[in-house]
Structure 1
Amino acid sequence: MADLEALGKKLTTEGPHKIEGTSRRVRGLLGGNYVFDTTAARYVWEHPYYPYFYIPKTAFKKGALERVDPSAKKPYWLGKLGAGGKSTDRVLAFDHAGPLEDLVRIEVSALDGWFVEDEKLLGPHPKDPYKRVECIPSSREIRIEFDGTVLAKSSQNIFLFETMLRPRYYLATTSVDWEFLTESETTSYCPYKGMANYYHVKVNEKEIKDAVWYYRYPTAESALVAGRLCFYNEKVDVFVDGMKEEK
């Protein structure tokens, strides 16, 4: 629990990077029960990159939330959340802590599901209300190389632009040389795009694990990239209309 202790201390001494309210209905599912249901959640940016939902103490189902160490004299405390025979101790709650007063942080993966209105939350954090994803078809040529070998070349691509991040290029499966790709068992979740699967790349006995990803069933906002392959810009050489990108 040391990481939660450190986070509690940091947030009560330095404060969060940013905090604001939301009128979205936010619910948490654990053990077949909604342990909280609120339209008074707060977006809390613990750092500049993306927010978490913090939940008011008053939103929790009676008896679901308890304090682990009632004797601790701090403006924050570690808690336990339980329902339906399941429980988690990945809980950090605040008492008199400035803008975080009477709010509770639950690690996203500790619950069976989070729902924003009636949409299930994907990934390790909620969508940032100031961030957007834009998928745009492009005929600019994308060429992917690794160790001097061309892995893919395409002029029928989808460019994905995501606020504050570098562009990603999604190529048709027919533009890739499959000789150099092997399937990975890795999966990941993105709040904006959905569940990703991966491939490894191997050229001349050199291998890059999880160098390529794709979305079989992306979210509606990223539907144009469905089934397309995206090479990790930072791990391979990417040329856009013949110009090499910086890694």
Structure 2
Amino acid sequence: MPDGTNSAPGFAKHPDYKLDRAIASKRVCAMLNGVVIADSDKVMVVRETGHGPVYYFPRADVAMDRLTRTDHSTYCGFKGDASYWSITVDGQTAENAVWGYEKPYDEFTEFNDYLSFYWNKLDAWTEDGADVTEPS
């Protein structure tokens, strides 16, 4: 891991913690109220100790005009401070459904260009055009 001035403190406390990521070999689409919110063939799948796989979409592939930044925030000792957005489509709002690390720790600088979604706050997901109920 990098020894930069913005290194993740979590790895010092938990050196065996895994936070693996790779670009998925499939197109992933996320929808709310029948409207595509994110659609990409450049999705980063993150596999983290103690968690199931999570998809992160490039910001360029997210309908940012449907998102509204909120005051909600969380902290991860491995990735950094997370900012949150709500999604609104035709009067339906999914509160704090989206998060991203705009200034992540040095180990994960690529996260600053990606956003993730709470799977259960959206109503439809597809992988390569097929409906799915969880990330694979």
Larger radius of gyration: 1
TM over 0.5: yes
Taking structure 1 as the reference length, the TM-score comes to 0.46
Taking structure 2 as the reference length, the TM-score comes to 0.80
Equivalent of residue 224 in structure 1, options 97, 100, 110:
110
SS of corresponding position for 2:95: strand
* 1-structure distance, mates of 2:47, 2:8: 23
Offset of residue 147 of structure 1: 1.7
Q: Percent identity?
A: 27
* 1-structure distance, mates of 2:118, 2:13: 22
Q: Identify the residue that residue 132 of structure 2 maps to in structure 1.
A: 244
* 2-structure distance, mates of 1:204, 1:189: 31
Q: Identify the residue that residue 20 of structure 2 maps to in structure 1.
A: 134
Q: Identify the residue that residue 233 of structure 1 maps to in structure 2.
A: 119
Q: In the alignment, is the contact (CA less than 8 A) between 1:168 and 1:230 conserved in 2?
A: yes
Q: In the alignment, is the contact (CA less than 8 A) between 2:72 and 2:83 conserved in 1?
A: yes
Offset of residue 246 of structure 1: 3.8
The answer to whether structure 1 residue 182 and structure 2 residue 77 are counterparts is no
5+ long unaligned stretches in structure 2 = 1-6
The answer to whether structure 1 residue 162 and structure 2 residue 48 are counterparts is yes
The answer to whether structure 1 residue 193 and structure 2 residue 79 are counterparts is yes
5+ long unaligned stretches in structure 1 = 1-118
Root mean square deviation of aligned Cα: 2.4
Which runs of 4 or more aligned residues in structure 1 lie more than 6 Å from their structure 2 counterparts after TM superposition? none
Q: In the alignment, is the contact (CA less than 8 A) between 2:24 and 2:41 conserved in 1?
A: yes
> Does the C-alpha gap of structure 1 residues 230 and 120 become closer, same or farther in structure 2, counting only changes over 3 Å?
closer
> Does the C-alpha gap of structure 1 residues 152 and 135 become closer, same or farther in structure 2, counting only changes over 3 Å?
same
SS of corresponding position for 1:221: helix
Offset of residue 219 of structure 1: 1.8
* 1-structure distance, mates of 2:48, 2:79: 11
